[in-house]
């Protein structure tokens, strides 16, 4: 069944567990993700990221995701990840998504608020949830200043941002990075705890791929309710395709192996985050 991000995170907050956002780039990934959710009886946030739209055309993604959500026997939120383009974010809302992220994290504070607020006004009128990012979760592949403390979420701004931007979930920057880590990330759990203690809305962790199981347990214990996973699934699918092709199997088998490998990663995460059995 199709639900909003607000509904999914409300239950997660009440019962103190985390829900994964799993981004899909193709049909094998989408099927692996939803089959894992059904198997684990877990609520799920199924996403597509703006940056991946050149790989999976938006209208195709909308059709696939809506069909999955409607047929699912577990709660499914359809989420548009890291939207920066006004038109594309509105296309997601029009296309049946129940949650959008507006990412103005690279912008100055007031500009981030103003832009997010504009999205929230439309989204809420349509019954769509909004996530935004305060501080900046950089890329693991990026420059030397990535993960620099100046880009961490400022605790003093948290509720001012939530209130004025009128959002339903807040992505925080506490030392994680997007993509594949080159050095082990150092998480600022103290800062997360401080944010969770005061934040008026549920918290989101980006850059989860490559964190240890203990890191995930620790962040969820200290208030993270939505965990974004993408790179780890992409790597698993990539390995599966490569392996199947190297073994000289046929294309159909390669696709099946990729789907299964994504499904396994997603299942592991659902068990780890505590969302298994919550649907």
What residues are annotated to the active site? 81
Structure tokens at 210: 């490559």
| Region for 223 from its dihedrals, namely left if φ exceeds 0, alpha if ψ lies in -120 to 50, beta otherwise | left
Part in contact with Zn ion (CB under 5 A); list of ranges 19-27, 104-112, 122-130, 204-212: 204-212
Q: How far is the CB of 249 from Zn ion (least distance, A)?
A: 34
Nearer to Zn ion, 206 or 269 (CB): 206
CB 113 within 8 A of CB 141: no
The verdict on 206 binding Zn ion (CB under 5 A) reads yes
Q: How far is the CB of 178 from Zn ion (least distance, A)?
A: 5
Classify each residue of 136-156 as buried b or exposed e, where b means 16 or more C-beta atoms within 10 Å of its C-beta: bbbebeeeeebbeeebbbbbe
Helix extents (H) in the chain: 5-15, 27-40, 58-71, 86-94, 109-125, 158-165, 189-198, 213-221, 231-246, 251-273
The verdict on 269 binding Zn ion (CB under 5 A) reads no
Q: How far is the CB of 201 from Zn ion (least distance, A)?
A: 17
Nearer to Zn ion, 142 or 277 (CB): 142
Part in contact with Zn ion (CB under 5 A); list of ranges 113-121, 146-154, 182-190, 199-207: 199-207
Q: How far is the CB of 82 from Zn ion (least distance, A)?
A: 6
Residue number, nearest CB to Zn ion = 206
Nearer to Zn ion, 172 or 279 (CB): 172
The verdict on 226 binding Zn ion (CB under 5 A) reads no
CA trace torsion 275, 277, 278, 279 (10° rounding)? 120
Part in contact with Zn ion (CB under 5 A); list of ranges 90-98, 205-213, 217-225, 241-249: 205-213
Spell out the residues 6+ positions from residue 190 whose beta carbon is closer than 8 angstroms to its own. Answer: none
Nearer to Zn ion, 201 or 206 (CB): 206
Binding site for Zn ion (CB under 5 A): 206
């Amino acid at each position: 069944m199709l639900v909003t991000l607000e509904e999914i995170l409300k239950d997660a907050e009440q019962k103190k567990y985390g829900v994964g956002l799993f981004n899909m780039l193709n049909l094998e990934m989408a099927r692996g993700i939803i089959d894992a959710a059904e198997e684990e009886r877990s609520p799920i946030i199924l996403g597509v990221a703006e940056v991946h739209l050149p790989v999976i055309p938006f209208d195709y993604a909308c059709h696939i995701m809506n069909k999955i959500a409607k047929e699912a026997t577990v709660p499914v939120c359809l989420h548009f990840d890291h939207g920066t383009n006004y038109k594309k974010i509105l296309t997601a809302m029009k296309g049946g998504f129940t949650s959008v992220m507006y990412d103005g994290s690279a912008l100055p504070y007031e500009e981030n608020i103003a832009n997010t607020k504009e999205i929230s006004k439309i989204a809420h009128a349509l019954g769509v949830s909004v996530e935004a990012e305060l501080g900046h979760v950089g890329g693991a592949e990026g420059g030397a200043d990535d993960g620099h403390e100046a880009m961490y979420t400022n605790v003093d701004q948290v509720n001012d941002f939530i209130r004025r931007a009128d959002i339903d979930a807040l992505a925080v920057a506490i030392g994680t990075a997007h993509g594949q880590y080159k050095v082990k990330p150092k998480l600022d759990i103290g800062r997360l705890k401080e944010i969770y203690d005061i934040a008026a809305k549920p918290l989101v962790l980006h850059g989860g791929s490559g964190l240890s199981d203990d890191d995930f347990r620790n962040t969820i214990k200290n208030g993270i309710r939505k965990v974004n996973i993408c790179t780890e699934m992409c790597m698993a699918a990539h390995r599966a395709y490569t392996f199947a092709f190297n073994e000289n199997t046929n294309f159909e088998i390669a696709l099946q192996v990729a789907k299964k490998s994504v499904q396994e990663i997603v299942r592991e995460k659902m068990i780890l985050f505590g969302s298994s059995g919550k649907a």
